[in-house]
Amino acid sequence: MNKSLHAPIIQIALAVVALLLGVFVYLLDRQPENIYFIPQWLATMVKGDSFIGTLGNYLPTFVHVYAFILLTMAIVFPAQQYRRYLVPVCVFWFSVDSVFEIAQVDAIAHFIARHVPTWFDGIPFLENTANYFLASTFDALDLVSIGLGALAAYYTVAVIDNLYVDNGASEQKQ
């Protein structure tokens, strides 16, 4: 197998593990009735008491931006172009996650909830848009967590890039 093909596989694997970690945080640390994607049968099995502690408050925001940067780099951009797109991808996902966090400020959340189109009703995930913002709480430390997740993803991709991707170094040596 081409050595540069290892990079996206490793990134996808790390992203999946990170996302699973985020799901476990929701399963173990959040009130099940407040989580949209947990089926009712599973919600009755999970207590939702704080199992992980304070870290559980910020791990999902870290994991989300981290995993989506890794997935974007692995799936969208060819291995030879990692360095060219890594910073813009990190900035993009940092911005997206930050906007969603800032949108949880009460005044903004209420504005969004009032303006959610009625055609969202009955469409999976979209039907929960207003509740997502109204039931969520803005926390400045989530923005820090998002930033740390983006930074960790940057370094993860850069390290994997250096280990597994031939960026012309062998051609320069000749």
The predicted-structure confidence for 89-113, as pLDDT tens digits, reads as follows: 999 999 999 999 999 999 999 999 9
- Residue 148, pLDDT > 90, answer yes
Question: Residues of 105-133 as b/e, b for ≥16 C-beta within 10 angstroms?
Answer: eeeebeebeeebeeeeeeeeeeeebbebb
67 vs 46 pLDDT, higher one: 67
Asked if residues 72 and 89 have their Cβ atoms less than 8 Å apart, the reply is yes
Residue 151 corresponds to which amino acid? L
Instruction: Give the C-alpha separation, 161 to 81, whole Å.
Output: 10
* pLDDT class of 150 with cuts at 50, 70, 90: very high
Residues 111-143: pLDDT tens digits?
A: 999 999 999 988 888 888 888 888 888 999 999
Please name the residues in contact with 159: beta carbons below 8 A apart, sequence gap of 6 or more.
none
pLDDT given for residue 36 in this prediction: 62
Percent of the chain with pLDDT over 90: 50
- Claim: this prediction has a pTM higher than 0.75: yes
* pLDDT class of 21 with cuts at 50, 70, 90: very high
H-state helical runs in 44-139: 55-75, 82-102, 106-114, 129-135
pLDDT given for residue 135 in this prediction: 85
Measured in residues, the chain has a length of 174
Instruction: Give the C-alpha separation, 63 to 15, whole Å.
Output: 8
How much is the mean pLDDT over the chain?
Answer: 84
